[in-house]
Chains A and B, each alone.
Chain A
Amino acid sequence: MRQLVRGELIKTVTTRTLLGFAVGGVAFAVLNVLVVTVASGTLDEVAEKEEALAGLPVLLLLWGLVGAAGEYRHRTAAPAALVGRRDRGVVLSARIAAYALTGLLLGTLTTLVSVGLALPLLSDQPGPGLTSGDVGAVVAGNLVAFVLSAVLGAALGALIRSPVLGVVVLLIVNFAVVPLLSDAWESGVNLTPFGAAGVLSRMTHHTTLSVVAAGWVLAAWTVAVTLVAVLVERRRDLA
């Protein structure tokens, strides 16, 4: 399994896609910190201050989805399956693990940027400040959300097999369907992967779902979709 993960890791780090996502992630982190700390007025609650440190898990969802679906678009999944010495489901599991590791890398980078930029700016805000425990909890929540989102994205990519279709559907759901539904049925939306990731990363606060519960919800979705993807991969033809 280690050699499979190594082979898949080589794939994930040897195209410019990783660099593109790293630049995009850092740009978003900077933008989010500036919008929340400078353009959002006074932040006098801890939850508001935590939002300045929030990451964008959907970016990691896209990372996994684009990468894994691209394996079918560029027909790179077939050569991997032909040399892997394990069944296709195991090869896909190794691929998903590689996206989890690179997701952790991307998540760590963007979180470091958020924390490094936000903490000095937040020190001028009134009200209770963020303790090191608060910051640690936000960082941990973000990293969990990033890794699970990357895994979920890779599993979805393996199921959808089309990066363009996957990205379009994902963006519509995340930026149109979920916000529309959340006004009407917030507790239900929190049980979707998007809602749970928002709570876990602190992008969403004052919700009925606790951060820990959000972690379990996102983990349950991730495990379920990954299992389906692995089972389907074993049965479907490879181009």
Chain B
Amino acid sequence: MTSARTFVGDPAAIRVEGLTKHYGRRTAVDDLSFTVGAGRVTGFFGPNGAGKTTALKAVVGLARPTAGRALVGGTPVMSLRPDARRLGVYIEPCGAHPGRTGRAHLRSLAALAGLPRRRVGEVLEIVGLAAAAQRRVGTYSMGMRQRLGLAAALLGDPEILVLDEPVNGLDPQGIRWLRTLLRDRAANGGTVLLSSHMLGEAARTVDDVIMIDRGRLVHEGAIRDLERSGGSVVVVRTADAERLSRLVAAAGGRSTHDDDGGLVIEGLDGAEVARLAHRDGVLLEEIGHRTASLEDVFFGLTGGADR
């Protein structure tokens, strides 16, 4: 059902400018600015308590910013009329009364949104909840509630999806289903902004990355650039490490010694390092690659894994 989307006047589907949100003396989001490109899946990452949910609530208009603003399709969200066809939102928890059936929950939202009743059946099928639709939400597992929340977000077949921790509680099959769903939407021109603190899994779904910590932006860019910057590094063992270091530096790379006595080279790939060593007669005892995980990059950007 998703069709190609265009945003008139602003290539960014979502633009956040200097967003700040205080709760009393506590600053949850601090001068945060970023853009979410139309037709892309953007991951919004940060450790627990980084301010992701607060920022997303401000982006969708549920929370009023203390300063700054969020624009959706070029229009400030606080002056936009809420519309399930433009913006589909899932923010934990799923927002369904435990005593109401899944179908009744979606029926009420469809009526509020002015959507046809048949759409309820369609989204229940999409999220795989059709068989459990007549059960009360209080009897649902966490994964089923997650799917119900996603069904609500998908009701209006929106141009933009904003999803807060959508992977939480999903089983591996569910995670794969969600990844396919989100990639398909992006392929059809839809835009997705999803938050997660599980970088490894979400990184398989996203095109772009926004990382925040303590309410502030720490990184924004394409996931490929992040992977590249984190680095696939070359690790070599040689008796002539000093000479190889000089050769690497002359070729534009950087080298450091690791704890195991190996030479870790960044900025050059394995073939380039091997050619340098061969040309200058440096004997390599061992050469290999080591890929820095995105978690390593993430911890490096947000200040460590031990927090």
Give the interface centre of B84, B98, B107, B108 by most chain A CB atoms within 10 Å.
B108
Of the candidates A16, A76, A85, which one forms a contact with B95 in the assembled complex, judged by CB atoms under 8 Å apart?
A: A76
Nearest-neighbour CB distance to chain A for B305, whole angstroms, equals 30
Q: Which residues of B contact A15 (CB under 8 A)?
A: 97, 99-100
Digitize B77-102: 1 where CB-to-A-CB distance is under 8 Å, 0 elsewhere: 00001111001010101011111110
Interface contact A79-B63, CB-CB below 8 Å: no
Q: Which residues of A contact B107 (CB under 8 A)?
A: 10, 14
Interface contact A237-B99, CB-CB below 8 Å: no
Give CA–CA (A87, B78) in the complex, Å. Answer: 10
Give CA–CA (A238, B152) in the complex, Å. Answer: 17
Q: A24 an interface residue at 8 Å Cβ cutoff?
A: no
Digitize B33-69: 1 where CB-to-A-CB distance is under 8 Å, 0 elsewhere: 0000000000000000000000001001111100000
Q: Which residues of B contact A10 (CB under 8 A)?
A: 104, 107-108, 111
Interface contact A84-B82, CB-CB below 8 Å: yes
Measured CB to CB, the nearest residue on chain A to B149 is A79
Give CA–CA (A158, B91) in the complex, Å. Answer: 21
Give CA–CA (A76, B95) in the complex, Å. Answer: 5
Q: Which residues of A contact B100 (CB under 8 A)?
A: 11, 14-15
Give the interface centre of A3, A79, A239 by most chain B CB atoms within 10 Å.
A79
Q: A89 an interface residue at 8 Å Cβ cutoff?
A: no
Measured CB to CB, the nearest residue on chain A to B97 is A74
Nearest-neighbour CB distance to chain B for A172, whole angstroms, equals 26
**Interface size of B as a range:** 20 to 34
Interface contact B108-A78, CB-CB below 8 Å: no
Interface contact A14-B114, CB-CB below 8 Å: no
Interface contact B101-A78, CB-CB below 8 Å: no
Measured CB to CB, the nearest residue on chain B to A6 is B111
Q: B267 an interface residue at 8 Å Cβ cutoff?
A: no
Given contacts A10-B104, A10-B108, contact A79 B95 (CB under 8 A): yes
Interface contact A85-B113, CB-CB below 8 Å: yes
Q: B112 an interface residue at 8 Å Cβ cutoff?
A: yes
Digitize B148-166: 1 where CB-to-A-CB distance is under 8 Å, 0 elsewhere: 0000100110000000000
Q: B218 an interface residue at 8 Å Cβ cutoff?
A: no
- By DSSP majority rule, is chain B's interface helix, strand, loop, or mixed? loop
Of the candidates B62, B83, B99, which one forms a contact with A85 in the assembled complex, judged by CB atoms under 8 Å apart?
A: B83
Digitize A71-107: 1 where CB-to-B-CB distance is under 8 Å, 0 elsewhere: 0001110111111111100010000000000000000
Q: A206 an interface residue at 8 Å Cβ cutoff?
A: no
Interface contact A17-B99, CB-CB below 8 Å: yes
Q: Which residues of A contact B87 (CB under 8 A)?
A: 82
Nearest-neighbour CB distance to chain B for A61, whole angstroms, equals 21
Interface contact B82-A81, CB-CB below 8 Å: yes
Q: B199 an interface residue at 8 Å Cβ cutoff?
A: no
Q: A4 an interface residue at 8 Å Cβ cutoff?
A: yes
Given contacts A78-B91, A85-B113, contact A235 B64 (CB under 8 A): yes
Nearest-neighbour CB distance to chain A for B79, whole angstroms, equals 10
Q: A8 an interface residue at 8 Å Cβ cutoff?
A: yes
Q: A70 an interface residue at 8 Å Cβ cutoff?
A: yes
Of the candidates B93, B97, B112, which one forms a contact with A7 in the assembled complex, judged by CB atoms under 8 Å apart?
A: B112
Given contacts A82-B60, A82-B82, A84-B82, contact A4 B112 (CB under 8 A): yes
Nearest-neighbour CB distance to chain B for A83, whole angstroms, equals 4
Given contacts A79-B152, A235-B64, A237-B63, contact A84 B112 (CB under 8 A): yes
Give CA–CA (A87, B95) in the complex, Å. Answer: 19
Interface contact B97-A3, CB-CB below 8 Å: no
Nearest-neighbour CB distance to chain A for B235, whole angstroms, equals 49
Given contacts A75-B93, A85-B82, contact A80 B112 (CB under 8 A): yes
Interface contact B112-A91, CB-CB below 8 Å: yes
Q: Which residues of A contact B109 (CB under 8 A)?
A: 7, 79-80, 83
Interface contact A3-B84, CB-CB below 8 Å: no
* A–B pairs, 10, beta carbons within 8 Å: A7-B111, A8-B108, A11-B104, A80-B108, A82-B61, A83-B84, A84-B82, A85-B113, A238-B57, A238-B62
Binding site for A on B (CB under 8 A): 57, 60-64, 81-84, 87, 89, 91, 93, 95-101, 104-105, 107-114, 152, 155-156
11 additional A-B residue pairs with CB within 8 Å, beyond A74-B98, A238-B63: A10-B111, A17-B99, A74-B95, A82-B62, A83-B156, A84-B112, A85-B82, A86-B81, A237-B62, A237-B63, A237-B64
